[in-house]
Amino acid sequence: MSGLAVADTSRWEFEVGGLPELRIGYHDGLIVGLLPKPLHADSDDQEMLLCDVLDVDPDVMVGAGIGVAQLSTVGLVLLHRRVTPLKQSRVAWAVGTRVRRQRLVAGADPRIVMTGARPPSDVVPAGVSFSSYRVRLRDGDAVSEVEVWEVMFPFRDLMAQS
């Protein structure tokens, strides 16, 4: 996508204990967050105004997530499928808040749709693509690499130009 820079996350590291708590249960849905502008430009801290879980069928989840992200009060949408490990979704949320903060500081469109696991191609609407973010996850002395995904929708460039 030409109008939207994808963050270089290769040096990003998160602590397992510092990941956001997500209480999703074993179901498919969207986690919707309303986030204000960052409290401090050089901080990951963002006050969560609202976090809600909406049950959504996996067959329409990608399109529904893109649609919800267009609401003016929505700052971040996370697609969570019951087969996705919760840790993956927690990392995706943390990466999404950091990418959003970077875009706000840069004056870019801050609407973010993230997922902890890339959905199968048969449930992805035409024109939608995914950008991969690889980050390190530290759990005590153990460090692992985790890959999460941002949903890139086809009309993002138009929104960034308006």
pLDDT at 12 over 70: yes
Q: What is the pTM of this model?
A: 0.85
* Choice between 107 and 84, residue whose per-residue pLDDT is larger: 84
Distance of alpha carbon 33 from alpha carbon 101, whole angstroms: 14
Amino acid at the residue 125:
P
pLDDT digits (tens, 9 = 90+) for 19-70: 988 888 888 999 998 766 555 555 555 565 657 889 999 999 999 999 999 8
Distance of alpha carbon 72 from alpha carbon 32, whole angstroms: 12
pLDDT at residue 38, rounded to an integer: 55
Distance of alpha carbon 158 from alpha carbon 136, whole angstroms: 33
pLDDT digits (tens, 9 = 90+) for 92-132: 999 998 998 888 888 888 889 999 999 999 999 999 999 99
Please report, for the chain, the start and end positions of each structural domain, with discontinuous segments joined by +: 13-161
Q: Go through the chain and tell me how many residues it has.
A: 162
Query: What is the number of other CB atoms lying within 10 angstroms of the CB of residue 56?
Result: 20
Residue 135 confidence class, pLDDT cut points 50, 70, 90: very high
